[in-house]
Structure 1
């Protein structure tokens, strides 16, 4: 299978590449082809711009993972625009190129996030839940709308609404580890807000699952079937690391440091992967304890 990937050098893309490259012909779209070769090797093809292509007829599948991290910086108006455009522009360009051909890719798998639902309290959330209107929803809703424009008899579209992805080599966990290793980690705010998470290996496996299962289309919650409160996540992480758990980050401090963006961490969603499970997908790491022990056990012992 010939696959075009955006975000191939990122946290998820890099792990995905190790699974795809042995059986498929991969092209990675990146403004820095040298970075692609340095990070992924020379057995993949790097494409600097979609303008080099008239259409996407040469590909069997497209996986769109590109986007500015949403929780890395304070949400200034300029940063909000970067977050939006880094997702919307590339998705729009991909769909335009896809629709320009006569034999388009059979599947487009495009990223999204559980931020689509906005704040939901402790209510169980599935793919049909009504979203709360706020910035994270606006970003994801438009992102998904642009991707779904590619849907046709020839092309199915899958949207993956990602939770917090757990992996030792990147993402939120890597940022949390320094304070927890010092015994200073703790819950944020009340700690009662739910955190919907997923092990990075399950993200890779569900991407492969959606590639292969032609009956799958539409939105899928990419979260483990055991969402937990921030308090329980924090306590479990400290226990797996063998560290004390007594610190707490007050809500006012988060708002002072991060402004509006802090609400992502102070509110949450209790998201369930209903459609993935109905499709027959099985999680390798369904529980937080198992996921954290696999992710951190080897590094701690080393």
Structure 2
């Protein structure tokens, strides 16, 4: 199958491209520069322009591009960059594939469990309404930006991603070194839920969406056993055999992270109802297993 991927240089995109190619699929990587290889095609999300010649013949598109939510402090300027990179980029991809004489059968577009806002101890599946605040508003607009693809009859699914456990990068990649040094600990009260997913399960779930025609609309990509920050901290200590005595008080996080502290201190207890109902099996449903997999089975 010929498959296009945006965000192919990111943590998830890199792993997805590797997985697809290992199984013999032809992958076209959409890049924001002049192509340097035969498997690349150019696009510019800011100008909402896509070189559609690279999309011709594609049966599927994975749209994973977007400025990193945890890469910088959330200034007003960076919040605009986070938003524009997702909303404008998604609109560009959706409109480009909708314009093709033979469009792809499926678009799997990135989203996030930030859609639900702070849910406290309440478990939420894909039927839950959006929350309030920057991330819920962003996720709603991000998903709505794919409207052109849906109107063209392209099966469109939104991968509402949780916290991906990986030693290779992302937020978790920055936590591992601290915990290995014995400097890790809970954040705030530690009672907030962090809905995690192992990187390998995340890639398998994306491919499950691709291969499962009934999966349209939102799909939570989180493990079936969400845990609190306190429980994750304890698991990191167990697996790494390191103390987890340090903690960061909520006021300190608010000062250090600004608006982004709400994402760290907020609680999202998301469950992957649609993945489970469609027959998906998690290889690493529990946090200890996911942490061990990140340390021993990636690469």
- Whether the 8 Å contact between 2:3 and 2:61 is mirrored in structure 1 is yes
Q: Distance in 2 between matches of 1:33 and 1:172?
A: 29
Whether the 8 Å CA contact 1:241–1:296 is kept in 2: the answer is no
Matched-pair contact (CA < 8 Å) for 1:224–1:286: yes
The residue aligned with 1:225 is 224
Residue 39 of structure 2 aligns with which residue? 45
Which residue does the alignment assign to 2:12? Answer: 12
Contact 1:166/1:173 (CA < 8 Å) preserved in 2? yes
Whole-angstrom distance in 1 between the partners of 2:249 and 2:269: 21
In structure 1, the residue matched to 2:3 is 3
Q: Do 2:40 and 2:54's aligned partners in 1 also have CA atoms closer than 8 Å?
A: no
Q: CA deviation at 1:263?
A: 0.7
1:75 aligns with 2:74: yes
Aligned to 1:226, what secondary structure does the other structure show?
A: coil
Structure 1 residue 18 displacement after superposition: 1.2
Pairing of 1:51-200 with structure 2 (within 5 A): 51-53=50-52, 56-152=55-151, 154-200=153-199
Instruction: Give the Cα separation in 2 of the matches to 1:106 and 1:298.
Output: 32
1:292 and 1:285 map into 2 onto residues whose CA distance is: 9
Query: Residue 120 and residue 92 in structure 1: after superposition, are their counterparts in 2 closer, same or farther (change >3 A)?
Result: same
Q: Does residue 268 of the first structure (1) align with residue 267 of the second (2)?
A: yes
- Mapped to 2, the partners of 1:278 and 1:51 lie a distance apart of 35
Does structure 2 retain, via aligned residues, the 8 Å contact 1:185–1:245? yes
Using the alignment, how far apart are the partners of 1:14 and 1:298 within structure 2?
15
Task: Tell me the C-alpha RMSD between the 2 structures.
Answer: 1.8
Q: What is the Cα deviation at residue 194 of structure 1? A: 0.3
- Aligned counterparts of 2:222 and 2:148: Cα–Cα separation in 1: 25
Q: Deviations over 1:134-161 (max 9, x none)?
A: 0001111101011243115741001110
Which residue in the other structure is 1:251 paired with? 250
Contiguous gaps of at least 5 residues in structure 1: none
Query: Unaligned stretches of 5+ in structure 2?
Result: 44-48
For 2:151 and 2:212, the matched residues in 1 are separated by 17
Change beyond 3 A, Cα 1:270–1:51: closer
Q: Where does residue 204 of structure 2 map in the other structure?
A: 205
2:27 — aligned with what?
26
Q: What's the TM-score once normalised by structure 1's chain length?
A: 0.92
Distance 2:194 2:119 in 1: 11
Instruction: Measure, in 1, the Cα distance between the counterparts of 2:196 and 2:263.
Output: 14
Measure how far apart 1:56 and its partner are. Answer: 4.1
Separation of aligned partners in 1, 2:104 and 2:211: 13
CA distance in structure 1 between the aligned counterparts of 2:286 and 2:50, rounded to whole angstroms: 44
